[in-house]
Amino acid sequence: MGKVLIIGAGGVGRVVAFKCAQHPDVFSEILLASRTKSKCDQIAEAIGGNRVKTAQVDADKVPELVALIKDFQPDLVLHVALPYQDLTIMEACLQTGVNYLDTANYEPKEEAKFEYKWQWAYHDRFKEAGIMALLGCGFDPGVTSVFTKYAAKHHFDEMHYLDIVDCNAGDHGKAFATNFNPEINIREVTQKGKYWKDGQWVETEPHEIGKMLTYPNIGPKKSYLIYHEELESLVKNFPTLKQARFWMTFGDEYLTHLRVIQNIGMAGIEPVRFKGIDIVPLEFLKAVLPDPGELGENYTGETSIGCRIRGIRDGQEKTYYIWNNCKHEDAYAETGAQGVSYTTGVPAMIGARMMMTGEWSGKGVFNVEEFNPDPFMARLMVDGLPWEETTGIDLEL
Ligand code: NDP
């Protein structure tokens, strides 16, 4: 039993609050805090039963965070605001001696570049303080990293090739919308591609490499090689990997919109002077695009995210595929949020549960694949993200 402070009241924060509220035996008290308190209040009201308390906080400001943490005295801070706030929230946790969990690695606002180095640099300070930080505990990163660990533990003597495949075959009925924070999402998908090959990173142009891949219950979808943050920790933690790549499906319509957005400068992160004030084009674009948290109502179809792995077992080559499919409509019926928020929020709650119950424990800064995958995998089955696995198949990669 413990107290959790959730920071961020977007689509993911909503799911995390709903899912934590379902487990009073683990999360005895829940405080949901965000920049805009009214969003926290809406979520708390939808959950009902006075289960969730709310507060206002600007998570860019360490003293505000420290005051809130001292007041509520949580056992864990579960951060699902934006990656820009990772370091301020970690700093506040250090000052107050409280455990930390997030779903996306730090990215400086002025540079579209996400890397673990800034957060890994906190390891010694967290260790000395006797507290734990768990990084990247959403779906990808998060479940994909746990899937990889599970494969290493139960299916392979040595893993050689890892392909993480992420398909969203949903339809939200909008001409263009992103499934999570538009600013973070567009920064991620317009970056150059990058993958691990024979001990080094190979860079590609954005969406240069594409391939049809077949997803369970969905069928073939054009998938593009992009860089994704879990690759950085997975190649470090599984040094036998000769190759590690990440693929994501994008529809032609989505890519056309993205190209236009870039070509007309709306993906820019440098401020431009407009009528006497500085405006960041991408931040303005976020303000006019649909709110991902509002997409759920008419969202049909499903997501399918998994790991396709090739390696050696008992001297023989082995192929293995593990995945979860999640229907947007089911996610909405349960939490009022669409599938991408759901697939992120559920693992964040499970990671928090692992820390609260002590099934995962440590002092310092950790990635999820550093822990025993079994209790986490068991919780996925009962908490809304059941997984399937198969061996001896054509991985298409
Ligand atoms: P949203 O944009 O919907 O929500 C973000 C929330 O954070 C909003 O409530 C926002 O407040 C709040 N916020 C922003 N800045 C601050 C601040 N300075 N202080 C306090 N609160 C702040 O994003 P999502 O819910 O879609 O995504 C949340 C996180 O989850 C992101 O970091 C994203 O990268 C991550 N993610 C991870 C995935 C994974 O699989 N690992 C997949 C998808 C998302 P306000 O309403 O005032 O703007």
Instruction: Look up residue 293 and give its DSSP letter.
Output: G
* Alpha carbon distance 3, 90 (integer Å): 17
Question: What pLDDT is stored for residue 114 in this prediction?
Answer: 84
Full-model pTM: 0.96
With a 6 Å cutoff on the Cβ, whether 180 touches ligand 1 is yes
SS3 content of the chain, % helix, strand, coil (to 5): 40, 30, 30
Q: What is the pLDDT along the chain (397 residues), one digit of tens a residue?
A: 899 999 999 999 999 999 999 999 999 999 999 999 999 999 999 999 999 999 999 999 999 999 999 999 999 999 999 999 999 999 999 999 999 999 999 989 888 788 999 999 999 999 999 999 999 999 999 999 999 999 999 999 999 999 999 999 999 999 999 988 888 888 888 899 999 999 999 999 999 999 999 999 999 999 999 999 999 999 999 999 999 999 999 999 999 999 999 999 999 999 999 999 999 999 999 999 998 888 889 999 999 999 999 999 999 999 999 999 999 999 999 999 999 999 999 999 999 999 999 999 999 999 999 999 999 999 999 999 999 999 999 999 9
With a 6 Å cutoff on the Cβ, whether 65 touches ligand 1 is no
With a 6 Å cutoff on the Cβ, whether 58 touches ligand 1 is yes
Residue 375 phi/psi, 5° resolution? -65, -30
With a 6 Å cutoff on the Cβ, whether 89 touches ligand 1 is no
Question: What pLDDT is stored for residue 91 in this prediction?
Answer: 98
Question: What pLDDT is stored for residue 294 in this prediction?
Answer: 84
As a whole number of Å, the CA-based R_g of the chain is 20
Instruction: Look up residue 290 and give its DSSP letter.
Output: P
How far is ligand 1, taken at its centre, from the CA of residue 220, in Å? 31
Max CA pair span of the chain = 68
Asked whether 262 and 181 are in contact (CB, 8 A), the reply is no
With a 6 Å cutoff on the Cβ, whether 181 touches ligand 1 is yes
Atom of ligand 1 nearest to the CA of 138: 41
How far is ligand 1, taken at its centre, from the CA of residue 81, in Å? 4
**What are the tokens at 148?**
């990889």
Atom of ligand 1 nearest to the CA of 82: 32
How far is ligand 1, taken at its centre, from the CA of residue 320, in Å? 33
Question: What pLDDT is stored for residue 275 in this prediction?
Answer: 97
Atom of ligand 1 nearest to the CA of 57: 20
Kindly give the interhelix angle for 339-357 and 143-154, rounded to the nearest 10 degrees: 60
Atom of ligand 1 nearest to the CA of 59: 19
All domains in the chain, ordered by first residue = 2-135 (3.40.50.720), 143-336+386-391 (3.30.360.10)
- Closest by Cα among 358, 337, 334, 344 to 26: 358
Atom of ligand 1 nearest to the CA of 9: 9
Pocket probe mutation, ligand 1, options 82, 85, 87, max atoms within 8 Å of Cβ: 82
Asked whether 266 and 180 are in contact (CB, 8 A), the reply is no
